[in-house]
Chains A and B, each alone.
Chain A
């Protein structure tokens, strides 16, 4: 039974015992995009016994440049990413358990979705979900592996409750909406997401095997400059999450969207209201679609969607009645 994993079994830091541990483990991958597909691919091939894959989006053509599990056929069939991923992973390894969850990972379902897992892998594209993952992971004492990638840079950090500093020790509060770079606005190289996803996967394996060699601190890469760097961070003694046990993101069950009384319109509310420079945003978005703006609002059209952004960071997404899709579009183009 272990023969398919023979190259891992002969590797002395895993061995037969380690392989069995992996086969007994359950990992959840939150977001199966550029990072998530790489992570899922590696963990499935490596024989992590059960994988739960959560994503609210559907496969699109522009995903194929970097989201390694998906095919043109998936785009044609308009498959949810989680389901498409599971279908392909089954072809890769039919001996493990695979579960697709097509849903928005949020404060109302987070605890239920991670309760039975041994490790959480971050495949998200936005900060608000990461702060939520941090809270739920700390509360339930589950290790998680943060990964982020944009353009030619990336970052990985392991958060092991009770052992390492947490994500809020690194970044205290989510960055202001509209001021973060996203893969949709500044692009991303597939090698960046490939490397970051691969590192996240191996960190997960090390954590599952309780290896001493787990990455401590934060790894940063710049693949255009070919720079790899590691820095240590300190536990923030006043950290609201890991020191004070205040799980603000998990306890905030207020939906981030409201359905507007209008056809196909959803209002997205950022976590904090801030001043956004509409001219700057217009500049960033004009490569990606039709943009117009004035003193009061900016309208950005892409595919069948129109995103109207107001200077305080709120947005109205038209063209969908699906709050998850509206949040995805917001995360992609406005950033949060």
Chain B
């Protein structure tokens, strides 16, 4: 199988990720932060080490402000629902994932106002659209770092500066960039950073997190056991406990730690460079290919390693099925949980076939994908 669906979940993982999960479960599989015994302490150390690694990766100072979640969706829900109150105003973009759009839709029913700004043909927002929509009650700007459909990288540095200047909380969805594109939360003025563990960070599914900046106080989505202040009937008000109830996915977090170590050792610049080369190579192969339409920036410097296409008027589900069934190539068709992106690009009927590359993909695999697309387009 040629796996080109890394934007959904990266695969394969570095060997050390698999090893770390197994080793943790066999050696230290106790409950972190609950009992004082050696195994529990070692379990807690594994969790804390991963918090430290995340701080190193994102240039954050306080590991306690890294909150573990099951995925980026839970992190985004925690940030959005934990901050916004009735009559607050939010600005977001049309290239957001449903994990932003659906919580906002729900909050709309509770009196939160939302402005969704459009993108240009390349799938990139214009900061002026944010500026002109800022109101007195604008509490938050939510922006994906890169579109999960088009790969288009958003100008988060400029948006971060604007938000800092206006005193607006800036939430960044790093689902497509964490681990594959440099993120410095200080330089970028990010208040809240939601990230999945199972994509660019190379960890197992069921991991993810939210970085909560200094001075940001979020309501908890859920309350329960934290192993701290157990005698009290209220949730602790300090991080990470306030937002981390219940036993964590420690085997997953151990694997996530190994994934981040791999990234730090390899160097994020090297990873980015490899993925840019693959993207460039693929885009080049698609150039002038009859019957294939490419969406997004079509420029590796403006996108992550995500390229979506369509073949003539064939439904993306069918093309993806053929790539899978005949050519053993895994891609993602349909709407990628981002309906507004597709509305904006005019692809609501057909969807798109998304190719997304990872650090372990090779040029040969891209060649195979290009040959497959050539063969497919000939038949329609």
List residues of chain A with CB under 8 Å of any chain B CB: 260-263, 265, 267, 294-297, 308, 310-312, 314, 316, 318
Contact = CB atoms under 8 A, between A and B. Distances in A.
Contacts of A316: 315, 317-318, 321
Contacts of A318: 315
B340 to A, nearest CB: 14
A294 B322 CA distance: 11
Categorize the interface residue count of chain B. Answer: 10 to 19
Interface in B298-328: 315-318, 321-322, 325-326
Contacts, number: 49
A74 to B, nearest CB: 34
B291 to A, nearest CB: 13
B318 A261 contact: no
Given A261-B351, A262-B315, A297 B322 contact: yes
A296 B379 CA distance: 8
Interface in B342-380: 348-349, 351, 376, 379-380
Given A314-B321, A316-B317, A316-B321, A262 B379 contact: no
Given A295-B379, A296-B376, A296-B379, A260 B325 contact: no
A192 B349 CA distance: 43
29 contacts: A260-B334, A262-B334, A262-B351, A263-B348, A263-B349, A265-B315, A265-B317, A267-B317, A267-B321, A294-B379, A295-B379, A296-B322, A296-B326, A296-B376, A296-B379, A297-B321, A297-B322, A308-B315, A308-B317, A308-B318, A310-B321, A310-B322, A311-B325, A311-B326, A312-B325, A314-B325, A316-B317, A316-B318, A318-B315
Cβ-closest 6 pairs across A and B? A261-B334, A294-B379, A296-B322, A262-B334, A262-B317, A312-B325
Nearest to A306: B315
Contact of A262 (B322, B325, B333, B376): B333
B357 to A, nearest CB: 20
A261 B337 CA distance: 8
Interface centre among A260, A262, A310, A314 (most CB of B within 10 A): A262
A311 B317 CA distance: 15
Given A294-B379, A296-B376, A296-B379, A260 B322 contact: no
A83 B321 CA distance: 37
Interface string B123-158: 000000000000000000000000000000000000
Contacts of B333: 260-262
A297 B348 CA distance: 22
Contacts of A296: 322, 326, 376, 379
